[in-house]
Amino acid sequence: MIFLIAIIGGGIVGTLIARELNKYVEDVWLFEAKTNFGMAVTKSNSAILHGGYDDPPGSLRAQLCYKGNQLYTQLQKELNFDLKRVGSHVVAIEDEETNYIYDLLKKAEKNGVKEVRIVEKLELLEMEKNINPKAKRSLFCEIAGIFDPWIVAIQAAKSVRINGGRTLTKKRLVEVEKKNGKFLLKFQDKSEYFADLVINAAGLYADDVAKLFGDEVPEIFPVKGEYFLLSKDYQYVNSTIFPVPTGISKGCLVLPTVDGGYLVGPNANRVMSKNDTATTREGLNEIREKGMRLVPNLNFRRHLVKTFAGLRPETEKKDFYIDVGKSGAIHVSGIRSPGLTAAPAIAKYVVEYLIQEKIGLKIYQRENYIAEMEKTPHLVHIDRDKWNKIIQEDPNAGEMICHCNKVTKKEIIDSINNGARTLDDIKFMTRASFGECQGGFCTAKILKILAEYTNRDPREINQNEDGTWIVNAKVRI
């Protein structure tokens, strides 16, 4: 019987694989190089639940995207995260673009997606009043949605811990040896672990990790997408607005976020470095122009909150690579769009097909598995009488720390109790400092709370990775 299964990579794919495996095997260990889960590719993208109509029929992407979309309904209930099925439009503005959306409708039929239809101009303008009035029609997908994918990863990792597995952060794999039929995993901090089976879900670095096992997977090259985040002050769109895509990407989108803001982007530019997340003047100008083609009244000057960029792991084949290597390790690589949507289906594919059928490992579902996870509620969204009762029990629930996103001291302390150790951990777990001031008014308070509740000097606290310090000296005694 398997003693230990290791998953390398704690993004949304790796954490959901770990969670799916944990339904069968208790000794699942999840290793993540960063300080928290979902902090790489998972957090810097459009955060869309795709419908599955766009992927090439017959591809692994097509096989897993629509299935993943359907699995999110139950996953949302079990992991307790916000998911809004706001729908999506692929908009034809020029006459020649109309043929493409009819082709998409045919592709949807081949992929088994039934929840799509053509929306003509008058109805489109009723559904989206700010869309370009020159728009002719759109392909509308009612099951498309928006969510915070890093929350899914964080909650999935929590599920692994609750069900007897282990989750370890700041663990970057640097060497692998095979000893007595087991994998000896060596990490940058000099720690070592034996594993009977290893699953490589290392995102941008999955091809590099595969080489540590002596295996080859399609080479990954990073493609950078830049974004604008706009504030909640004006309601631009109700659903995700796609242009007719190019051969490179799905194009520059305009979409709402689950907390009421708006994203505009991304572009798609191949870069040399897997660490290149810098925005560029040229890239942002490109996004501004393309975004306003879809929604002409976008006000980047008045409603801008921030700009950012993310990287996605692309390959020349433009499809997922999920298979068993010659070493016996499983490699989940090249998880480009729609990887977020496909993630729960990828997890089942790995466990039910690769592990149980292809490898032939006999594992059985555990009777004591706990499926549903609790999450600290965002107090501003609950009933005021209930909130007042919570304040009576815990006065920290009545102290507002982040005024932009209405995050209380209790929510920040709860995130620390759930493993937050950096400012970004708290930011992505609670949305504190995620608002319009971008931490200008709350960072000092959060820093003080982190120092107090982790018994550290403020100078020891980082923004995210080691060395990203916030303060390095006292200015008053």
pLDDT digits (tens, 9 = 90+) for 62-73: 999 999 999 999
CATH 1.10.10.1100 residue ranges in the chain? 379-460
pLDDT at 246: 62
pLDDT at 1: 47
Please report, to the nearest 10 degrees, the dihedral formed by the alpha carbons of residues 264, 63, 372, 48 taken in order. 0
For residue 72, CA distances in Å to 114, 222, 304, 332, 343 come to: 17, 27, 31, 20, 9
Q: Which residue among 50, 89, 303, 331 is the active-site one?
A: 50
pLDDT at 403: 94
Q: How far apart are CA 439 and CA 242, in angstroms?
A: 31
pLDDT digits (tens, 9 = 90+) for 243-270: 997 655 568 999 999 999 999 999 999 9
Question: What phi and psi values does residue 324 have, to the nearest 5 degrees?
Answer: -90, 130
pTM of the predicted model over 0.85: yes
Write the class of the CATH domain 88-142+221-314. alpha beta
pLDDT at 3: 78
pLDDT at 5: 97
End-to-end Cα separation, the chain, in angstroms? 60
Whether residue 312 contacts residue 290, with contact meaning beta carbons closer than 8 Å, is answered with no
pLDDT at 273: 97
Closest to 168 measured CA to CA, from 67, 291, 36: 36
The 3-state DSSP class for residue 153 equals helix
Residues 6+ apart with CB under 8 A from 35: 169, 170, 421, 422, 424, 425, 462, 464, 465
CATH 3.50.50.60 residue ranges in the chain? 1-83+146-218+315-375
Q: Which residues of 348-382 are buried (b: 16+ CB within 10 A; e: fewer)?
A: bbbbeebbeeeeebeeeeeeeeeeebebbebbeee
For residue 450, CA distances in Å to 57, 251, 377 come to: 49, 40, 20
CATH 3.30.9.10 residue ranges in the chain? 88-142+221-314
Check if 50 is active-site. yes
Fold held by 379-460: Arc Repressor Mutant, subunit A (1.10.10)
pLDDT at 377: 83
Residue segments in the chain with a per-residue pLDDT below the cut of 70: 1-2, 246-250, 477
Q: How far apart are CA 87 and CA 145, in angstroms?
A: 6
Whether residue 81 contacts residue 148, with contact meaning beta carbons closer than 8 Å, is answered with yes
Fold held by 1-83+146-218+315-375: FAD/NAD(P)-binding domain (3.50.50)
